[in-house]
Chain A
Amino acid sequence: MSADFLYGIEVIINGLMAGVLYALVALGFVLIFKASGIFNFAQGVMALFSALTLVGIMEGQVPFAHLINAIFGTSIHHFGWTVPAVLAIILTIGVMVIFAWMVQKFLFRHLVGQPHIILFMATIGLAYFLEGVGDLMWGSSIKRLELGLPQGGSLAIENLTSGLGGDDFYGFFIDKLDIVATIVAILLVILLVAFSQFTKYGRAMRAVADDHQAALSVGISLNFIWVLVWSLAGFVALVAGVMWGAKSGVQFSLSLIALKALPVLMLGGFTSIPGAIVGGLIIGVGEKLFEYLVGPMVGGATENWFAYVLALVFLIFRPQGLLGERIIERV
C-alpha cells in the first residue's frame, strides 16, 4: 500500500474521532429539541459551565471568590482541599440537575405556549447569563482538566501499523484521548438509547416529544419531563465539556463548539439521536478529508467553513436532515 493512501486512512480515522466530539455536543441539542421543541442555544455554554464546575470542584476553588473578596475585603480563593475526580463528577452532575430545575422553574414554565422564536431567544439570553455566571463563579482563566485520561499519540498503534506502508510511512498517529472519547461517546449513546427505549421515564419522554396534550391527559407531568430532559442534556454537556476540556484546556472559547454542532444537526436531523452521531461523523471525516485533499489547493483553513457549506447543501436538498423524523401522514 502506498504511503499516501495510508495517510488518507489516517485522516479518515482522525476525522471520525473528531466527529465523535461534534456528535456529543449535537446530542444535547437533539435531546432538548425533541422533547420540548426548544432549540437550546445555550448547549455549548452548558458544556463550558459544567467543565468549569468540574475543574473548580476538583481543585477546591471557592465559588464566587472574586465577588466575595470584593465585598468583604477578604482574599480567599481555595478551600485548601482537592476532590477526587469521581466525587467531583457526581457533584457536577448534581449542579447540572439543579441548573435544569432552575431553567424550568424560572424560565420556561413562564413561556409555555409561546412561539418557538421566543423560546429560542430565551435560550440565547440563557447562554449569555450562564457564561457570566460561570465567569463570576470560577474566574476566567484557562484551566487544565486533569482527570488522568491518557493523552498523546498511541505508540502501540503506531508501531503496530508502521509495517503497512513503505519507508515513508511511520504508522497511524492516533491520539489516545480521541480513543477514550470515542468509547465514552459510544457508551453514552447506548445508555441514552436504552434509557429512552426501555424505561418508563424514557417512554414518557418520547410521549411528550410526540404530543404534549396527550401526555398531560395520561398524567405525565410536563414539568418533570422537561427537568429530566434538561438534566440529561446537562449530563451530555458535561461529557462533551470534559472531552474538549481535556483536549484543549477549559476556556471560554469552549462555548463556541456549539456553533460546530449546528451543521451536524442540519446534516443529521434535529430530532434524531442516531442522526446526531452520523452527522457528527460525516462532518468530522468530511472536513479532515477535505482539508487533506483539497486544502493545499486553496490555501488551507478549509476546516473553518467546510461544515457550514455542507450543511447549506443539505438544507437545500434534504431539509429534515439525513435521519430526521419522518412526518407520519396516513393516506
Chain B
Amino acid sequence: MDQNAENSTDAMLQVNNIEVIYNHVILVLKGVSLNVTKGGITALLGGNGAGKTTTLKAISNLLHSERGEVTKGSITYRGEAIEDMDPETLVKKGVIQVMEGRHCFEHLTVEENLMTGAYTRNDGRGAVQADLDMVYSYFPRLKERRKSQAGYTSGGEQQMCAMGRALMARPETILLDEPSMGLAPQLVEEIFEIVKSLNEKESVSFLLAEQNTNVALRYAHHGYILESGRVVMDGPAAELRENPDVKEFYLGMAEEGRKSYRDVRSYRRRKRWLA
C-alpha cells in the first residue's frame, strides 16, 4: 500500500507485502502490508479465516512449528529484518505474542505462568519482582488467584494471565490475538480498558487482531481490514468507524437500520471488497 510509505518514519514494525504458505501448498496471505506505529494501538480486523492470526504468527515467527512459512515480502522491526528470527530472539528484542485462545500453562499456577514470561530476561530478581507487582496492579484479579492452577481459572482470568505473562517479558510491542474471544461483553470492555492503560502508562504498542470490530475500533488508533489474505482497507480508526461499508459489513449497521443476518449475507456475496 502506497500510503503506508509516507508515515513509515514512525512505524516501528513494518510488514511489507508478505505471502504465507502452509504445508507448501496452501496460500493464506496474499500480499499483506501493514505498519505498527510506536506507542499506538493498531487493529487488524476481519472475519474467520481472513488471515489475522497468520499475520501475527508470521511476525512472531510461530509459523514454523505449524509448517507455515513466509515465502515473499519482508518484515522489519526497527529497521531490522526479523522474518528469519526465532521467537526467543524476538522476545528479547521486545516483540511478544499473546496467542488466540489464551494458551496458559494449565498445570502451572497463575504466578508461575507469569514468571515464565520473564524467562528471557536476565536483569535480576528485583526487576522481575517489580514487574510482577506491576502486572498485579493492572490485573488485581490475578493476585487473588495467584496460587491456583491456571487450568482451573475462568476464561477472563486466563486471558489476563496470558497478557500478564507477556508483560513480564517487558515488551515494547504486544501482538494480541483475539482477546475478546469467548468473553462476556463486560469482561471484553475491562480487558480493552487495560490494553488502553497499558498503552498509555507503560507505552506498550499493540497490534490487535480482533473479530469484534466495534470494540476494537473504539480503542485502536489505526485499523486494517483483512479479507481472504489481503488488506482491503485501512485508515485511522475514527474514519473506519464512519465508513459506510465497514458499518454495514463489520458493525452490522446498514443505513436503513439493522438487517436480518440472512440479507446481509446474500448482499455481501454480491458486493465484495476489491473483488
A272 to chain B, nearest CB (A): 11
Are A217 and B60 in contact, CB atoms less than 8 angstroms apart? yes
Choose from A203, A212, A213, A330 the contact partner of B108 (Cβ within 8 Å). A203
Query: Contacts A210-B106, A211-B103, A216-B62: A328 and B116 contacting too (C-beta < 8 A)?
Result: no
Closest B residue to A208 by beta carbon equals: B105
Contacts of A207 in B (CB 8 A): 105, 108, 116
Contact A328 B97 (CB under 8 A): no
Query: Using Cβ atoms and an 8 Å threshold, which residues of chain B touch A213?
Result: 62, 65, 99, 103
The answer to whether B169 and A214 touch across the interface, beta carbons within 8 angstroms, is no
- B78 contacts partner chain A, Cβ-Cβ < 8 Å: no
Residue A204 is within 8 A (CB to CB) of chain B in the complex: yes
Interface residue? B189 (CB, 8 A) = no
Among B87, B162, B165, B166, contact of A216 (Cβ-Cβ < 8 Å):
B87
Q: Write out the residue numbers on chain A whose beta carbons fall within 8 Å of the beta carbon of B162.
A: 214
For the complex, give the distance between the alpha carbons of A245 and B212 in Å: 64
Nearest chain A CB to B129 CB, angstrom units:
13
Contact of A328 among B107, B112, B165 (CB under 8 A): B107
Cα separation A226 to B21 with both chains bound (whole Å): 28
- Judged by a CB distance under 8 angstroms, whether A3 is at the interface is no
A70 within 8 A of B: no
Is B152 a contact partner of A330 (Cβ separation < 8 A)? yes
CA distance A217 to B91 in the complex (A): 8
* B117 proximity list for chain A (CB < 8 A): 218
Least CB distance from B95 to A in Å reads: 10
CA distance A216 to B107 in the complex (A): 17
Judge if A188 is at the interface, Cβ distance under 8 Å: no
With A203-B108, A213-B99, A214-B103: A219-B62 Cβ-Cβ less than 8 Å = no
Per-residue CB proximity of A287-331 to B under 8 Å, as 1/0?
Answer: 000000000000000000000000000000000000001001010
Known interface pairs A113-B67, A330-B151; A220-B105 also in contact (CB < 8 Å): no
Query: Which residues of chain A come closer than 8 Å to B195, judged between CB atoms?
Result: none
Asked if A206 is at the interface of the complex by the 8 Å CB criterion, the answer is yes
The reply to whether A220 and B107 contact each other, CB–CB distance below 8 Å, is no
Judge whether B119 and A210 touch: CB under 8 Å.
no
Residues of B within 8 A of A113 (CB): 65, 67
Q: Does B104 contact A (CB under 8 A)?
A: yes
Would B119 and A200 count as touching, CB distance under 8 A? Answer: yes
Task: Identify A212's interface contact among B65, B106, B120, CB under 8 A.
Answer: B65
CB of A69 closer than 8 Å to a CB of B = no
- 1/0 per position for A11-41, CB-CB distance to B under 8 A? 0000000000000000000000000000000
Complex contact A217–B152 (CB within 8 A): no
Q: Using an 8 Å CB-CB cutoff, how does the interface string of B137-155 with A read, 1 for contact, 0 for none?
A: 0000000000001011010
B binding-site residues for A, Cβ under 8 Å: 60, 62, 65, 67, 86-88, 90-92, 96-99, 103-108, 112, 115-117, 119-120, 149, 151-152, 154, 162, 165-166, 169
**Given A203-B108, A204-B119, A207-B108, 10 other A-B residues pairs in contact with their CB atoms under 8 A:** A113-B67, A203-B112, A203-B116, A211-B104, A216-B62, A217-B96, A217-B98, A218-B165, A219-B92, A221-B88
A-B contact pairs, 7 of them (CB 8 A): A112-B65, A210-B106, A210-B108, A217-B98, A218-B166, A219-B91, A325-B107
